[in-house]
């Protein structure tokens, strides 16, 4: 039986991205209109991962400078954070899917020679 690993990985990544974006949006709404402390902590936690990736890639100083000079609005930074997270999820899904594909090929080759 052949399992479409890459397709399943991309489907899982899509579902995870939708759930992540919906959760981040709900947290942002709760933070903005409810003024609850837990919502602010949630928003900071959601934004921490893509910001660390930006920092690792050297993009964070550019975004910070553009934000402080008024070239980027807060909502634009949040959209960029969301897109970054979706991209990270997709890259991880393709990487895992490709790795699983290689493992499946190895097992298929082993079964053929046995």
Instruction: Report in angstroms the alpha-carbon separations of 54 from 16, 39, 83, 85.
Output: 20, 23, 12, 10
Alpha carbon distance 73, 24 (integer Å): 18
pLDDT band at 100 (very low <50, low <70, confident <90, very high): confident
Find how far residue 107's CA is from the centre of its chain.
30
Q: Which residue has the higher pLDDT, 30 or 104?
A: 30
Entry pTM: 0.77
- pLDDT given at position 1: 59
Establish how many alpha carbons lie within 13 A of residue 88's alpha carbon, considering only the half-sphere containing its beta carbon. 17
Q: Is the pLDDT of residue 57 over 90?
A: yes
Question: pLDDT per residue over 31-52, tens digit each?
Answer: 999 989 999 999 999 999 999 9
Q: Check whether 76 has a pLDDT greater than 70.
A: yes
**How far separated are the first and last CA of the chain, in Å rounded?**
18
């Amino acid at each position: 039986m052949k399992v479409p690993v890459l397709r399943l990985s991309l489907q899982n990544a899509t579902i995870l991205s939708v759930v992540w974006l919906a959760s981040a949006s709900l947290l942002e709404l709760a933070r903005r209109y409810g003024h609850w402390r837990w919502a602010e902590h949630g928003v900071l936690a959601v934004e921490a991962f893509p910001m660390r990736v930006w920092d690792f890639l050297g993009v964070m100083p550019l975004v910070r400078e553009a934000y402080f000079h008024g070239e980027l609005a807060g909502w634009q930074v949040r959209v960029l954070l969301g897109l970054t997270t979706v991209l990270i999820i997709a890259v991880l899904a393709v990487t895992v899917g490709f790795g699983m594909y290689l493992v499946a090929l190895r097992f298929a080759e082993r079964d053929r020679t046995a």
